[in-house]
Chains A and B, each alone.
Chain A
């Protein structure tokens, strides 16, 4: 059974478009995250929600907007996509002790 799932796995789109990535976890965790891994493989946190409340909001362009309809779901909407947004976006979840479990990733390519 998939613990953290993301859709879509691949996303190829044109500059200026708006796209969304969805994430769901069935682990019963309270906290969910979005991470970005760039071409140099550097993994950096973008957002974190705890029980639907935004608790971490790193320096991310406001074109990126997360939404958590419930504690099992965390979506990421990106407006006006730019070339530099091309990366792998990972969703993750954790319980209080901090160890995070990652989804399979969404590979975004902006042309």
Chain B
């Protein structure tokens, strides 16, 4: 069973701080990694994806990937109360199941004004 572990929340940060969300995965063959944001009572929303080792920046979001360590993270700079949500890490499965995303249980982030 391929597993995805995320830092257990809830994570609480003050407004304007950097929020750091971490994820480790067991499928060594995973090549693509996705971060989703899910507001309470809403559906998951794709916010970032990363394929290559290193950093990928998009606005206030930075995804970091280290395939050797099987580790992916999401940094949110200048956190806003509107960032308060559950963040889901989802590596894409390797091999014949490469359409399959395995989701972590998510980290609940609360940004305090």
Contacts and interface: CB of A to CB of B under 8 A. Distances in A.
Interface of A: 31, 33, 40-45, 48, 50, 55-56, 90, 94, 97-105
Secondary structure at the A interface, as helix, strand, loop or mixed, is: strand
Contacts of B3: none
Interface stretch (B10-18, B74-82, B96-104): B96-104
Nearest to A4: B43
A98 B43 contact: no
30 contacts: A33-B99, A40-B105, A41-B105, A42-B103, A43-B44, A43-B103, A43-B106, A45-B102, A48-B99, A50-B99, A56-B97, A56-B99, A90-B43, A94-B99, A97-B32, A97-B49, A98-B32, A98-B49, A98-B92, A98-B99, A99-B46, A99-B49, A100-B34, A100-B46, A100-B101, A102-B43, A102-B44, A103-B43, A104-B43, A105-B42
B22 to A, nearest CB: 18
A55 B42 CA distance: 27
Interface of B: 32, 34, 38, 42-46, 49, 86, 88, 92, 97-103, 105-106
A45 to B, nearest CB: 6
A56 B46 contact: no
A103 B43 CA distance: 7
A43 B36 CA distance: 11
Counting chain B CB atoms within 10 Å of each CB, the highest count among A41, A42, A48, A55 belongs to: A41
Nearest to A45: B100
A41 B99 contact: no
B101 A98 contact: yes
A105 B38 CA distance: 12
Given A45-B100, A56-B100, A105 B43 contact: yes
Contacts of A94: 99
Contacts of B38: 41
A104 B39 CA distance: 12
Given A98-B32, A98-B34, A99-B34, A45 B46 contact: no
A90 B34 contact: no
A102 B32 CA distance: 18
